[in-house]
Amino acid sequence: MERIFVINKFESGFDIRALAQDIYAQEEYCIQTLDIPDEKIYGTDMIGDARLEVILTDIEEYELKEDWYINLTRVCA
């Protein structure tokens, strides 16, 4: 299953401009800060100046209850 999330709440003190300029920084933010497993990230893209689109793939039913997924849904709410 593929899911798309749009993140508009970032950790305080994080430089959003760094994300806008570097796709690797976007993925690192997802992995390091949001604890999203690397193998689940299909792609990322900045929308405007302050929103990060994250496309996840191969999401299994049991993962919908894992901490990283629940946290991601909260950040996107």
pLDDT tens digit sequence for 39-50: 999 999 999 878
Q: Measured between alpha carbons, how far is residue 24 from residues 7, 50, 51, 65, 68 in Å? A: 16, 17, 16, 27, 20
Domain ranges of the chain: 3-76
**CA dihedral of residues 70, 11, 30, 63 (deg, nearest 10):** -10
Q: What is the pTM of this model?
A: 0.87
Q: How far apart are CA 75 and CA 77, in angstroms?
A: 6
Which is higher by pLDDT, 8 or 57? 57
